């Protein structure tokens, strides 16, 4: 139905909330739980396009494995049916993106402001999450889906800056304010000038590499935050 994407998003948020509550009830600190849930939400996001495609009732025929199969499954589909299914798939993807964005915003908040969030792993993990979400918007087609990923990404970076500035004096806070102001101005200028322009390919390649690195460091940072590496080092001497 029309409300199916909404229910899917609500179910996703409820599922992550329930899992986080059970993990915290087992004695795991809130910031550690937030790190695990953030990694899980990022991993879940990789399945959103395929899940939305299938829930909308769209199917891709298997690739032909021989010359004879090239003539199989070539009947055209009804255009209106494909348009309706495509809009439904977009709605499912938007609902999932909204749910995961909300989950990630909550995880970042708990990660950086909750108990046992002292030390450098928590802010570094927050920066990695923010950078990953902002760069991931390059691979998303829908405008709403991009916005729903960009907002928690920008929020993560801003919250890291604010929490780090709280522990410093007035000069440090002024520096953070200046950096945020310059970053906001650069983002606005890029939003006005970049769309419609052809960029040099190596900028896209650099963004791809940074995107991959941000994804690769998430799990090690979450494990480091939880003290897993320290425990293993103690076990193995």
As a whole number of angstroms, the distance between CA 129 and CA 230 comes to 23
- CA-based end-to-end distance of the chain: 58
3-state helix, strand, coil split of the chain in percent (to 5) is 80, 0, 20
Average pLDDT over residues 91-106: 94
Q: Tens of pLDDT along 143-163?
A: 889 999 999 999 999 899 888
Q: What is the mean pLDDT of the chain?
A: 84
When pLDDT is cut at 50, 70 and 90, the band that residue 81 belongs to is confident
**Domain locations in the chain?**
4-229
Average pLDDT over residues 27-46: 90
Instruction: Give pLDDT, residue 183.
Output: 80
Beta carbons within 10 angstroms of residue 202's beta carbon? 8
Q: Tens of pLDDT along 21-30?
A: 999 999 888 8
Q: Tens of pLDDT along 55-77?
A: 888 877 777 777 777 777 667 77
Average pLDDT over residues 41-49: 91
């Amino acid at each position: 139905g029309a409300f199916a994407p909404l229910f899917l998003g609500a179910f996703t948020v409820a599922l992550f909330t329930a899992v986080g509550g059970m993990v915290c009830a087992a004695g795991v600190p809130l910031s550690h739980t937030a790190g695990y849930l953030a990694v899980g939400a990022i991993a879940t996001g990789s399945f959103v396009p395929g899940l939305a495609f299938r829930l909308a009732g769209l199917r891709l025929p298997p690739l032909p494995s021989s010359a004879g199969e090239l003539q199989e499954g070539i009947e055209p589909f009804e255009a209106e049916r494909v348009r309706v299914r495509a809009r439904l798939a977009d709605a499912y993807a938007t609902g999932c993106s909204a749910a995961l964005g909300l989950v990630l915003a909550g995880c970042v908040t708990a990660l950086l402001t909750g108990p046992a969030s002292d030390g450098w792993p928590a802010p570094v993990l927050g920066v990695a999450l923010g950078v990953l979400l902002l760069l991931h918007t390059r691979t998303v087609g829908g405008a709403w889906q991009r916005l729903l990923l960009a907002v928690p990404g920008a929020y993560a970076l801003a919250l890291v800056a604010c929490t780090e500035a709280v522990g410093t004096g007035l000069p440090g806070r002024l520096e953070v304010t200046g950096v945020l102001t310059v970053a906001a101005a650069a983002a606005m200028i890029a939003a006005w000038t970049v769309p419609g322009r052809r960029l040099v390919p190596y900028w896209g390649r650099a963004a791809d590499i940074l995107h991959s690195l941000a994804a690769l460091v998430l799990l090690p940072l979450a494990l480091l935050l939880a003290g897993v590496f320290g425990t293993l080092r103690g076990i193995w001497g």
